[in-house]
Structures are given as C-alpha cells and as structure tokens.
C-alpha cells in the first residue's frame, strides 16, 4: 500500500513538472492522528523534485500541524512575483465588483461597461485588466475568434459544464459522439442556456478535448471504444516514442489534431488508423500507458514522408508540455532490439557508418537504419548539390563545370569521407532533365 501511495505521489509530481513548469509545490500528509507512522522519503523526493517547497504532516481532525502548514503557505506566497505588481485603485474596484456578481458569464460589451463605471475608459487599459483578471482566475476570457465575445465570471461554470458533458452516461453509451441537440439533456437549462452551448464546445475544441465530425456532432476521443478494431497494415516503417511520464491528454490531442486523416472512424481509446490519400499511405498508432510508449507504424511508398507529418504533429504536442523526458527509438528489423534515434543521428554526424547496438552481436548500418524514417545525411547533401547545380543550369551547359561545382560543394562538408556520394550520377540526372 505504501509503495502504491508513493507511485501516486510521484505521478502527481511528474504532472506538475510537465504541466505547471515545476511550480513551487507543498506536499501535505493528512490524517496523521489515524496513521501516525505514515511518511515519505523527504530527502529523496526533494532531491528528485527541486520544486518541492515543504512537506507537511497534518491532521484536519485534531488541527495538529496546521499552523506550520499555514506558515509554509504564507512564506511561499510571499515569493510569488506577480503578487508584488502594483494596481490602480480602479482596477481593485472592478475586480471586487466582478467577484460579487451573480452572473456566470457576460458579454465583452457588458465587461467594458463595468470598466467605464469605475472610470476605466481606455480600450488598451480595458484589455490589459481583462488579461490580468483572466490570469488571476476572476474572469475567463479567450481571444480566439469564436470565444472573444464571452467573458466567464464563474470559472466553475465552465469546468462543471465540461465535466457534466464528458462524464454523462449518454455520451459514454454513444462512444464519445455528442450532438448539440443532446446537450440539452445533459446540462440544466437555467444554468446553461442554449445560446452558450457553442461557446462550451468551442472551448473544448480549443483545449483539444474534442473535434467536430460534422456540423452538429462532435467526438471526444477519450470516450472512444476500448476495443481495437480488426484492421491490418503491413508497415515498412516503425518508430517508438518512450516517455518517462506520459500525460493522458497527449494521445487524445493527437487524434484531434489528425482528425482529417482518421480512416473510416477507425479510432479507439488507445489507438488510431490514419490514411493520407495524397501520399497513398496508412499508419497505425498505439499508446501503451503501462509501458509509457506510443508506437508508430506506417505503410506505403511514401511512408517516410507521411511519418514526418505524424512525427511533427506528435512532437509539437509534446513540446507544449514543460519538462517531458522523451526518448525516440527505431526498432531493428526482425529483432526485439531498438536503437536511440538521436544516437543514430549523432553517429552519422560523426561519420560513423556501422556500430553494434546494445543487446546485439551484429553490426548495423547507421544510414540504412536512419533512412527508414528520415533522409540520411547522404540524401540531404545530394539534395543540396542538386539544388545548387539547378541554380546554374540555365547559364552553364558544360558538364565538366557542373562536376567541378559539385566537388567544390563537397569539399565544404565535414565528415563526408566514405559517405558514398556519386557526383557523376547527380550531374547526369540534371543533364537528363
């Protein structure tokens, strides 16, 4: 049980690292009156997670340790930078006015009217204080085109509405497909009027919780069927992304981003089949939360090009988190061995052509292994030579001049020895055009 509690604690600490940029964190151990022997390895945790400010043992029942916890909170709050920001008196008056409001949401026009009532007339100042109030959580306001005319005075109104939608039995029974008409059966009309449905859905789209499948329906990937459909592909490219900590939101976000490529609704809670008709490629992605991996398989003549689109999308989502630790690996064909993608790129840059991966007794070719997922250094240099030579093709018809020019480009490239670039073949390609 203690091991399980430690895992849960570290899960949330890693969550803070990834989502909150390692914000100052206080750990509170409650019910010490009922379980006086329970504690955590303080030095280990504080060394591993430097953002931990203090670890406090308290009892909400007896009050033991509460004063020390309050002292720790006050000390931490005093170090928060924006608390020292000076505000004009009128801004405080507006803040208090909005906090006392019983409205759940107002239009931007009404907000500006409230500003004028406390003598804030400048449009620039109105926008600035709106940003401040948004940061403080007094008001929620988003500058996106579909959202900018509504300011939410009660943030709980948003979160409760979204949770009611996501956790509704109706949505679960419909495997994550929600129609606008059915929202009326989920949300109470007095609190959530129909004219605000699209605002809530737009907000869910903004945070990539769902995507539109037609004009009147949305799909929430996190509520898709658990069962993987029968669909086989013959991958010529395989890639694995390993995470030290894998946030649950990454894969649903990926499905939302790639919604236009989802093949015939072939998506499930831990996987998706993608199809790119222009490149004539199929891809299958599977997430394994236990192993903390996302496996990518691509088939098709242009598999490498389609993989680059998939990889870019996934990398962009990963980069939206602050401190995700990720290792990308390429499986070696017909073995259970994988090799670090970054390590292969480093070897190629150093001019290493063959090496023995850890766990193997056989040599592998660096360029061939890398070439399964991306252009090799050789291909990139050949492309650069082709581009440079094409620039002078219109003015020079001398084949020997082309060869001389290509060799001069090669001489400027470090670690090029042994890479096997055929200058004459490149020149012949250009003259055949």
Q: Identify the residue whose tokens are 């490529």.
A: 261
pLDDT greater than 80 at residue 84: no
Query: Residue 165 is part of a domain; what is its CATH number?
Result: 1.10.10.2200
Res 328: pLDDT: 95
Closest to 175 (Cα-Cα) out of 247, 227, 212, 215: 227
Look at residue 393 and tell me if it is in a domain: yes
**Lowest model confidence (mean pLDDT) among 6-15, 46-55, 238-247:** 6-15
CA 214: distance to chain centroid? 25
Domain co-membership, 322 together with 407:
no
Return the CATH number at 125. 1.10.10.10
User: Rounded to a whole number, what is the distance in angstroms from the first to the last CA of the chain?
Assistant: 71
| Predicted local distance difference test score (pLDDT) of residue 18 | 82
Which has the higher per-residue pLDDT, 101 or 21?
Answer: 101
**Residue 245 and residue 326 in one domain:** yes
Residue 395 or 214, more confident: 214
pLDDT in tens, 390-408: 776 666 566 777 777 777 7
Question: What integer pLDDT is reported at residue 392 of this predicted model?
Answer: 67
CB 130, CB 105: distance < 8 Å: no
Nearest to residue 285, comparing CAs of 299, 274, 277? 274
> Would you state the pLDDT for residue 2?
46
pLDDT digits (tens, 9 = 90+) for 295-339: 999 999 999 899 999 999 999 999 998 888 999 999 987 788 899
Residues 20 and 96 in one domain: no
pLDDT at 157: 93
Q: Are 262 and 321 in the same domain?
A: yes
Beta carbons within 8 Å of 194's beta carbon, 6+ residues apart: 184
Question: Does residue 340 lie within any of the structural domains?
Answer: no
Three-state SS for 59-127 is CCCCCCCHHHHHHHHHHHHCCCHHHHCCCCHHHHHHHHHHHCCCCCEEEHHHHHHHHHHCCCCCHHHHH
Residues 219 and 263 in one domain: no
User: Does residue 197 form part of some domain?
Assistant: yes
Q: Is residue 1 over pLDDT 50?
A: no
Q: How many domains does the chain have?
A: 5
Query: Which residue among 104, 135, 152 closes a domain?
Result: 152
The rounded distance, in Å, linking the Cα atoms of 284 and 288 is: 13
The whole-angstrom separation of Cα 203 and Cα 189 is 19
List C-alpha distances in Å: 214 to 129, 184, 209.
37, 18, 16
pLDDT at 372: 77
Question: What confidence category does residue 3 fall into, taking pLDDT thresholds of 50, 70 and 90?
Answer: very low
Is residue 245 domain-shared with residue 320, that is, in the same domain? yes
pLDDT average, residue stretch 410-419: 65
Greater model confidence, 145 or 302: 302
Last residue of a domain, one of 81, 111, 138: 81
175 and 248, same domain (yes or no): no
Between 67 and 333, the higher pLDDT residue: 67
pLDDT tens digits, residue range 184-213?
889 998 999 988 888 898 889 888 888 888
| pLDDT mean over 120-138 | 89
pLDDT band at 251 (very low <50, low <70, confident <90, very high): very high
Q: Which of 162-166, 167-171, 354-358, 364-368 has the lowest mean pLDDT?
A: 364-368
- In 3D space, the residue among 428, 433, 423 whose CA is nearest the CA of residue 382 turns out to be 423
Residue 6 has pLDDT above 70, yes or no: no
| 1 Cβ contact partners less than 8 Å away, ≥ 6 residues apart | none
Are both 144 and 164 inside the same structural domain?
A: no
Tell me what pLDDT residue 278 has: 94
Domain that holds residue 141: 89-152
Give the 3-state secondary structure of residue 291: coil
- Residue 397 has a pLDDT of 63
Residues 77 and 94 both lie in one domain: no
Q: Is residue 368 part of a domain?
A: no
11-28 average pLDDT score: 84
Of 124-128, 161-165, 403-407, give the lowest mean pLDDT range.
403-407
What CA–CA distance (Å, rounded) separates 265 from 43? 49
**Last residue of a domain, which of 299, 331, 363?**
331
Per-residue pLDDT at 5 exceeds 60: no
User: Which CATH number characterizes residue 305's domain?
Assistant: 3.30.310.200
Average pLDDT over every residue of 358-376: 81
Q: Is residue 326 part of a domain?
A: yes
Mark out the alpha helices in 230-376 (DSSP H runs). Answer: 250-257, 303-319, 341-349, 366-371
Are 94 and 142 part of one and the same domain? yes
The answer to whether position 53 is within a domain reads yes
Given a contact cutoff of 8 angstroms between Cβ atoms, the answer to whether 244 and 236 are in contact is no
Q: Are 223 and 267 in contact (CB under 8 A)?
A: no
Do 170 and 200 have their domain in common?
yes
**Domain harbouring 60, CATH code:** 3.40.50.300
Residue 259 clears pLDDT 90, i.e. is over it: yes
Helix (H, G, I), strand (E, B) or coil at 400: helix
**Domain contains 50:** yes
- Measure the CA–CA gap between 348 and 36, rounded to whole angstroms: 57
**So what's the pLDDT on residue 393?**
65
Same domain, 204 and 283: no
Q: Is residue 126 part of a domain?
A: yes
List of residues 6+ apart from 160 with CB closer than 8 A: none
State the sign of the Cα–Cα–Cα–Cα dihedral 123, 128, 129, 134. positive
**pLDDT attached to residue 235:** 92
β-strand 25-29 against 52-57: which pairing, if any?
A: parallel
């Amino acid at each position: 049980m203690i091991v399980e509690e430690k895992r849960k604690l570290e899960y949330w600490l890693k969550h803070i690292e990834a989502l909150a940029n390692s914000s100052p964190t206080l750990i509170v151990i409650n019910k010490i009156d009922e379980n006086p022997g329970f504690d955590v390895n303080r030095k280990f945790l504080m060394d591993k997670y430097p953002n931990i400010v203090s670890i406090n043992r308290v009892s909400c029942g007896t009050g033991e340790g509460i004063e020390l916890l309050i002292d720790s909170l006050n000390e931490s709050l005093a170090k928060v930078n924006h608390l020292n920001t000076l505000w004009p008196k009128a801004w405080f008056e507006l803040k208090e006015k909005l906090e006392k409001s019983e409205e759940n949401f107002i239009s931007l026009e009404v907000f500006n009217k409230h500003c004028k009532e406390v003598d804030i007339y400048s449009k620039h100042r109105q926008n600035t204080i709106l940003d401040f109030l948004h940061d403080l959580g007094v008001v929620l306001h988003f500058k996106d085109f579909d959202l900018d005319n509504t300011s939410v005075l009660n943030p709980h109104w948003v979160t409760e509405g979204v949770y009611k939608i996501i956790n509704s039995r109706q949505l679960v029974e419909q495997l994550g497909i929600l129609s606008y008409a059915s929202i009326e059966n989920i949300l109470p009309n007095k609190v959530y009027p129909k004219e605000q449905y699209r605002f809530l859905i737009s907000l869910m789209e903004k945070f990539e919780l769902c995507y539109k499948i037609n004009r009147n329906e949305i799909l929430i990937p996190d509520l898709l069927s658990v069962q993987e459909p029968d669909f086989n592909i013959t991958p010529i490219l395989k890639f694995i992304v390993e995470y030290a900590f894998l946030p649950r939101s990454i894969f649903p976000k990926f499905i939302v981003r790639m919604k236009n490529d989802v093949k015939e609704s072939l998506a499930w809670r831990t996987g998706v089949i993608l199809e790119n008709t222009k490149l004539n490629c199929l891809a299958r992605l599977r997430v394994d939360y236990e192993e903390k991996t996302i496996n990518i398989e691509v088939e098709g003549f242009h598999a490498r090009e389609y993989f680059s689109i998939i990889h870019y999308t996934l990398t962009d989502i990963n980069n939206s988190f602050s401190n995700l630790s990720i290792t990308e690996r390429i499986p070696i064909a017909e073995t259970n061995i994988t090799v670090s993608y970054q390590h292969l790129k480093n070897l190629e840059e150093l001019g290493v052509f063959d090496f023995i991966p850890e766990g193997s007794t056989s040599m592998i070719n660096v360029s061939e292994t890398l070439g399964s997922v991306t252009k090799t250094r050789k291909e990139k240099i050949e492309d650069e030579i082709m581009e440079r030579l094409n620039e002078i093709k219109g003015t020079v018809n001398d084949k020997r001049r082309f060869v001389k020019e290509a060799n001069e480009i090669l001489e400027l490239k470090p670690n090029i020895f042994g890479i096997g670039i055929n200058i004459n073949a490149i020149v012949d390609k250009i003259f055949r055009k």
